[in-house]
Structures are given as structure tokens and as C-alpha cells.
A and B are shown apart, each in its own frame.
Chain A
Amino acid sequence: MFYPVFQQYNWQEVADSIYAQTSEDVLRALQRPRRTLEDFKALVSPAAKPFLERMAVESRALTRQRFGKTIQLYVPLYLSNVCQNICTYCAFSMDNHIPRKTLTDAEILQEVQAIKAMGYEHVLLVTGEASHEVGVAYLQNAIRLIKPFFAHISLEVQPLQEDEYALLKAEGLHTVLMYQETYHEANYKQYHPKGRKSNFVYRLATPDRLGKAGIHKIGLGTLIGLEDWRTDAFFTALHLQYLEQTYWQTKYSVSFPRLRPIAQEQGHKTFSKYMNDAELVQLICAYRLLRDDLEISMSTREQERFRDHAVQLGITSMSAGSKTNPGGYAVAPQSLEQFEISDERSPAVIAAMIKAQGYEPVWKDWDQTLC
């Protein structure tokens, strides 16, 4: 289990060590054929800033060699915004009084039709955390409903038990995203004061349960904007390294969601610990230099210009035309979104943008026959 490994590290000591990295450390990290977590510290440190172009060149080369000139396209399908958690950064938070909705079977199929019309083969199912309304039975039914239409099904929901994951895997589930949000254990409770999500350790053990259940791919990540992103990146990389060594048959992906403004009863909420564009590029490149096989995805949270450039910087998958509200594609286009989309271009336009850079947009990269 990861928690004992995690406990060997102290947040502040790791942070100090990252901020103490020098140009020499960055150069050493850049020159190594295989990079360690110590190298990774240098690559995410402020000292790496002058080396950004060099990191980007290397990141692009490594990504091309491993993944070729391709970008995989996926789309989120929000099934429900009902949630029993209070999370200070999320529009679905229980204390945010918005209309709640959970899709029925007929509505799910309506949404599926709309998504299929855009060309999608890879879908990501998203819900809030509400064990009665959208528990395992609901998810099992949803996967069963949509399986005939998609080559690849991912899930981003509340943490489940190992046997529940095994059950959903048998239905056709391939990938589970489980973001820790932040690895700062002491402050975690501030952002998650109420609901099951406030249990830091249970959430942290989720990838272990996923690994044991034999889920094909696990997605890790933190919310950029809560705590120091460099330190959170280190802990994510530590988690990744532990998982790779423990569940060696599993694939891994990371994502770097930067917090977007969310709609609340009184206007909008924005976040202070914002990460700028150069820093996000640094983070993408640092991960690519650490692991050439890691999948890195980018959502429509990011803006058009940034996403256009990101195609060649190290990311491997992208969503497009996303709606972050249940029913957003066909059933109830006007309902409230989980966060505001920045890049609202259609999948066709995004695919054309990818092609214009000499890259191939890949719609299908899995097959249900492969279990």
C-alpha cells in the first residue's frame, strides 16, 4: 500500500528541496538517459525556468518516439451532478444550491447519440459522489448501456472498493481516473470539509484497489491551484513510481487540471494559487522527461491558443466539445456546468487543428475484444 511509502516524506522538506535546486541540478537531470525522482525535483523547480525551451524540444522528441505524431481524442459524459461532498472548489459541492440532475437510461442514450455523432469512440463517464443515487449499481447499468457504442470506457467517480471495480471491469470498464486533488495531507481537509471525500487516506489507497482489481489504466493528478504545484507534482510522481513498481501490468496517465472559475449563487469563485502557462508547459515537459510512456491528457479547461501549442509539447490525449453538465449534449444543454469550458471548439475543428500540425487525431485506440 502506498500510504506507508508516502509517510516517509514530509511535505515541507520536499518543498524546500525543490526550491533549493540549482542550474547544475537541472543540467544533470537533462543529461541523464534515465531520470529519477531527484531529477524530477530539478525539472519542476524554479531553477528549470531558463531551460524551458530545451525541455520542450526533448519532450516533443520523446513523445513522438513513443506515441508517434498522434493525439487521442476523448469526451466526458456527465451522468449526474448530485453530490454529498462539500468541496470548496467545485460547483457540484453539496452546499452550492444548483439544480441537481441524474440521467435516466433514455437520457443516457440520447447523450450517447449526440456524442457518437461527433465521432467519439473513447468516453469518460463522470458523476459526483452520491452512493444512493449514483452508486455501483447505477454505474454498472450505465456501462452496460453504453458499451455497444464505445471502444473505450473511462470512469471518474467517487472511490470504490476493489470488488466493485472488478465488477465494473467485467462490464467493460477500461480506465479509472482518481485524482488525489492534493497530497498535502494536513490541508486536504480544508478543501474537503464534509462528505466521504474528506477521508484522505481512503482516497489515497484507491489506485492500490484499482491495481488489485486489474483495471487496465489508472489516471492520477492533482488540482492545480490548491497547494504548491511543484510539491504536489513530486508526490504524484512518487505515487506513480510506487504504482508502476507494484502494479506493473497497469498503464498510467496524468492530467493537470488548472482550477477554473466556478459558478456560485453569488457570482463566481476564482482561485489564488494560479499556475501560469509557462509553468504548465514546464510541468508537462518534466513528466515527459521522467516517463516517456506516460499518457498525458488535457481537457477543455485550457484555452484555445494554449491547447493548439500543447499538441507538440508532450500531451497524448485531448477532449473536445466537452459539456460538464449532465445532459449537456442533448438532454438539458442549459443546465449548470461543473466548471466553465475555455476551449469551446467542436471536435471536428480540434481534429483539423491537430492535422494542420502534421499530427493524426486518433478516435479509436482500444477494442472491447481486448477485455
Chain B
Amino acid sequence: MAALQIAGNTFNSRLFLGTGKFGSSMEMEAAVLASGTELVTVALKRLDLQQQDDTLQYLQHAHLQLLPNTSGARHAKEAILAAQLAREALQTNWLKLEIHPDPKYLLPDAVETLKATAALAKMGFIVLPYIHADPVLCKQLEDAGTAAVMPLGAPIGTNKGLRTLDFLEIIIAQSKVPVIVDAGIGAPSHAAHAMELGADAVLVNTAIATAQDPAKMAHAFKLAVEAGRSAFEATLPAVRDHAMASSPLTAFLDV
């Protein structure tokens, strides 16, 4: 399995994890370790930066890179402020940009996200924006200096799988930056499918955190992501609904 490069960093695992919704920090840590992930998101709004934050203590592993997110931001302005705070507090210029003005479905705001990406990239951030599966927006984000794109498979937290399949395929086909399918992935089979399509990575939270046995589910996702990626690298044969006829129309030609 080829390693993934984002902004000059190498990731041996193509599975990224969110750290919310777990029943305890211990449970979260066990799942993170079982998944083999090397990149985990942390919500800035959940971090207590004035004291020794509990969550961060459980994420202190040499192989783990932290990806602070701006969850809760409703506009570019708020997201940029949050990004600066996260950079200072966590000593990282990596950022998962989340701008969702609607608190019900948490759907990303394309206009504000593009604006914030351009500004943050200029400020030296490595921006990974959470977006709709919008191929045009992806190209605009590339121009704005994004490090990757994170299109959603389905509304966040729904476990519905790849509902935006047709658009993910277009995005993957034409992207110059890594494509990370983020949101909606509810089962290892969904993750495997995304990897088979040629997505560079997937980000999973709800499906693992709310499973009966999060660590075991995290391991299942690890296997699925590896299987899907290997299949993609091996090049899947084309899909047909019947075997090829053995007397083609062109047999009479003396070729």
C-alpha cells in the first residue's frame, strides 16, 4: 500500500479519526490505537487550553498528528480566529476547516469556506476543508491553496454511506490534491468503497465512537481501508452484467 502525502507529510495509514462522541478518553485512545491512524481531529471548542486538557493527554503518542478543527464556527471570521488559537495552543499549522452555519445538519458553507481557506493558506496554515461533494468548489479550493479536500459522503453523523457517489467520482478524477472522504461513513464497507474509488483517505468518527465496541470497530475500519486501497492499487476489472460474447460483430474482418 502506497503511503499518502499531504503537504509534505507522509501517512502510512489512510484512515483518519475524529475524537468526539466517545464514552471516555480511555475508550477513545483504545480506538485510535486499534485503528492504526496517524492523524486525529480534535475540536477546539472541547479543549481546555488553560489547564492540562484531558483529551490531549490520551493522544500523546509519537505516531499521532493532531488536526484541530473549527467546529462551531459559523463564518470565515470566526474560523480564522479559532485557527489562530489552535495553532498557538497545539503548536501545529494543520487545520481542519469546518464552517457550518446550520447547527441542525452541520452542512458546510461553501462561500465562507473558500474565503477562509484562501486567507488561512496565506497565513501559512495547512488547510483541510470539510465541504460538500462539489467538484467546482474543489478546483476553486485548489486555486486558493488548500492542502487537501474533504468532501462529505452523506450528512455528518448519519452513517448513510456514500450518498454523494457520483460527485465523489468526479472530484477524485480531477483533483490535484488528496481527497479525503469525510462524514457519513457508517460502516467499514463504506470506507472500503471510498478507497476503491480512489479516495486518498477517509475520516471516520460516529461509526467508531458509537459502536458497541469502539476499538474493535476501529480495527475493522483499518482492515477495510487497507483492503479498499489495495484493490484500488491493483486496478479493479470493469463491471459487466454478462460475459463477453465470443462471436463479435467484427469476426469477419481479416485483422
Contact = CB atoms under 8 A, between A and B. Distances in A.
B78 A64 contact: no
Nearest to B205: A68
Interface string B163-192: 000000000000000000000000000000
A342 B25 CA distance: 30
Category for how many chain B residues contact A: 20 to 34
A69 B22 contact: yes
Contact of B102 (A248, A363, A364): A248
B103 A370 contact: no
Contacts of B8: none
A57 to B, nearest CB: 14
Contact of A370 (B25, B47, B78, B102): B78
A36 interface: no
Given A358-B24, A360-B25, A249 B48 contact: no
Contacts of B74: 249
A366 interface: yes
B21 interface: yes
Contacts of B81: 369-371
Contact of B104 (A293, A355, A371): A293
Contact of A249 (B22, B102, B206): B102
A249 B81 CA distance: 19
Contacts of B21: 64, 67-70
B24 A355 contact: yes
A163 interface: no
Given A248-B104, A293-B103, A367 B72 contact: yes
B159 interface: yes
Given A121-B48, A293-B104, A69 B25 contact: no
Interface of B: 20-25, 27, 44-48, 70, 72-74, 77-78, 81-82, 85, 101-104, 157, 159, 206, 209-210
When A and B form their complex, which 3 residue pairs have the shortest distance between CB atoms, in order from nearest? A68-B21, A69-B23, A251-B103
Given A69-B22, A250-B103, 13 more contacts: A65-B206, A67-B21, A68-B209, A70-B20, A121-B48, A151-B45, A251-B103, A365-B46, A366-B45, A366-B72, A367-B85, A370-B45, A370-B82
9 contacts: A64-B21, A121-B48, A151-B48, A250-B103, A359-B23, A362-B46, A364-B45, A366-B45, A367-B45
Interface of A: 64-70, 121, 151, 244, 248-251, 293, 355, 358-360, 362-367, 369-371
